[in-house]
Homo-oligomer: A and B are copies of this chain.
């Protein structure tokens, strides 16, 4: 038996991974149950459970009670992107971070924003636009609407030295959110701020966050042309 030190859950996981990669267990195959694996590896069932659960979370195994555990037929690669505070993102790349407030106004929002935030169409909301810089070059343009009905404190902030991005994260909790990635052509205004040609292809990240049933903020972050978001799978 080619069983290495599989007394730890990582050991079990490695051995299971090896068998999947070596196609000893093929996509779609039912694998032995936890008790059998525990016996084979000479460890306790919870140890096997920990290993298999973790692989299932990564999408490599599919588990169903009673039905057993099978190798995912077509594993769905899960790309986890870290959406950090933009300042940290810049600083982590070893660059100097800069910040410029471009606009701060309180006004009636476009209907797609008030609809997304679930507020009345006549509601006046806080609108903030800001440019994030990396080594003095435009890095990302943040276009944000804040639901001041739920976050009145935002009205007292001028967002000149701290970005809304950072202030909200520090001061306003949220329980859930939605995030969408898309490509968008730069508008004339985007182009002016990001210092790029109009209609450049920009990576756009749209976020909508909620605190229980109250919307908090809707934001679009447009990255300068050529920007990439990377991750391992």
Contact = CB atoms under 8 A, between A and B. Distances in A.
Given A182-B227, A201-B183, A173 B80 contact: no
A165 B181 CA distance: 22
B180 A230 contact: yes
Contact of A74 (B85, B175, B204, B226): B85
B75 A230 contact: no
A183 B180 contact: no
A77 interface: yes
A233 interface: yes
Given A77-B177, A77-B207, 12 more contacts: A74-B85, A74-B88, A74-B170, A77-B82, A79-B80, A79-B83, A81-B81, A178-B233, A181-B203, A182-B203, A183-B201, A199-B199
Interface string A200-233: 1111100100010000000000010111111111
B83 A183 contact: no
Given A82-B78, A85-B74, A181 B27 contact: no
9 A-B pairs with the lowest CB-CB distances in the bound complex, closest first:
A183-B183, A201-B201, A183-B201, A77-B83, A183-B203, A177-B233, A181-B229, A185-B201, A180-B230
A196 to B, nearest CB: 11
A64 interface: no
Interface of A: 17, 20-23, 27, 59, 73-85, 88, 166, 169-170, 173-185, 199-204, 207, 211, 223, 225-233
A77 to B, nearest CB: 4
